[in-house]
Amino acid sequence: MAAPGQNNTILSVVVMTMADTQKPNSLRKVVNKCNSFILPGSTRPGCLVFYVNSVAVGLIRQDILKQLKAYPDVFILNDKEKGDQGQPRGLHLSQDLDTFEKRTKKIEQVLRSLQQKDALVSLRGWRDECYSISTGFGVEPLLKVERAAACLFGVSQYGVHVNGYVVDDFGDILMWIGQRSRTKQTYPNMWDNLCAGGLSSGLGVEECAIKEAQEEADISEEHLENLQAVGCISYMYEDERGIFPECQFVFDLQLPDDFIPRNTDGEMQDFKLLPVNKLRELILNEDFKPNCALVIVDFLIRHGILTPDNEPDYTYLVEMMHISHRSYITDPATVATAQ
């Protein structure tokens, strides 16, 4: 871990207001990266809506559809405008699976079968951790699936991220960031927030943030009294594994000067305390895991470091960090709908 000198800190706000905010290598690139699925060139136009119990819950890509077609008793394909039973166009989980338990069990069987065939790269990362599937956060889940498989069905995934920060004697903000372990399955060695994690089925949101803070950065109960929910960010990207509509609940945690994080679960290899202008450099150099960069951009906006007067893409950044998954999942041809 390394702490910067006070001199660097004083420079931070000045640097932020300079012309470098207009460089082609802009923060716009970061929010676009996290929204690759909804931007031109994505696989979106070819995707099918995934229905469970006649409710749209996700999106299925053609490469993944090809694999799921091998299980026609589980996944019913309606590729006409109206299917045989008057159902909308899309991939429907069999109506015979009429309870949470039946759906969960049958999908797990299919996924284990696909894993044995090594048909889908995402299943190489099986975690034995389950995510709930429903039509929105807090809505009664229809089933749960293995975390590594959520991207196959393009269903919303939820997580928590904690911004740990210190305010120095000059009133300037320094932020604690963590470097992901070399052996992490995803984004090894990249920079991350102080602590973060996926929201597993059944856990409260603050409860999850506290658990991650204790495991990933050894933060004491006393320090966690300052933990504050400050909003959520949402975006949609895709990669070779599948489609990721993600929503991260964000927490701010002001820490005392003398606090030093310590990783206890092997997920982080290092921590650094950096002034905000240094964070911006790391973000633009793409040294951060992309969604962690987004969490920091949101922090810089909420704390008045990026402003409408010094950041030309201000409104674009804010909008693209708060995408409505429902509007893309429910009906790709219209936009938001009331729930």
| Interface positions with a second copy (CB under 8 A) | 28, 32, 35, 38-40, 136-138, 204-206, 228-232, 234, 247, 249, 301-304, 307-309, 312-316, 318-324, 326-328, 332-339
Q: Choose between 60 and 199: whose C-beta lies nearer to a second copy.
A: 199
How far CA 292 is from CA of 175, 276, 295, in Å, comes to 13, 14, 5
Alpha helices of the chain — where are they, by DSSP H? 6-16, 27-33, 62-68, 100-117, 205-217, 221-224, 276-284, 290-302, 314-320, 325-330
Q: Choose between 87 and 254: whose C-beta lies nearer to a second copy.
A: 254
Q: How far is the CB of 242 from a second copy (least distance, A)?
A: 19
Residue 128's SS3 state is coil
Beta strand pairing status for 228-239 and 242-254? antiparallel
* Rounded Cα gap, residues 123 and 118, in angstroms: 8
Residue 239's SS3 state is strand
Q: At what angle do helices 276-284 and 290-302 cross, to 10 degrees?
A: 140
Q: How far is the CB of 150 from a second copy (least distance, A)?
A: 16
* Rounded Cα gap, residues 225 and 89, in angstroms: 49
- CB-based burial of residue 259 (10 Å sphere; 0-12 exposed, 13-18 middle, 19+ buried)? middle
Q: How far is the CB of 206 from a second copy (least distance, A)?
A: 5
CA angle centred on 199, ends 238 and 233, rounded to 5°: 55
Q: Choose between 68 and 198: whose C-beta lies nearer to a second copy.
A: 198
Q: How far is the CB of 157 from a second copy (least distance, A)?
A: 12
Q: How far is the CB of 229 from a second copy (least distance, A)?
A: 4
Q: Choose between 119 and 203: whose C-beta lies nearer to a second copy.
A: 203
Q: Choose between 110 and 243: whose C-beta lies nearer to a second copy.
A: 243
Q: Choose between 170 and 266: whose C-beta lies nearer to a second copy.
A: 170
Q: How far is the CB of 320 from a second copy (least distance, A)?
A: 7
Q: How far is the CB of 334 from a second copy (least distance, A)?
A: 8
CB 333 within 8 A of CB 322: no
CB 308 within 8 A of CB 314: yes
* Rounded Cα gap, residues 63 and 77, in angstroms: 14
Q: Choose between 72 and 136: whose C-beta lies nearer to a second copy.
A: 136
Q: Choose between 126 and 137: whose C-beta lies nearer to a second copy.
A: 137
Q: How far is the CB of 95 from a second copy (least distance, A)?
A: 26
Residue type, 166: V
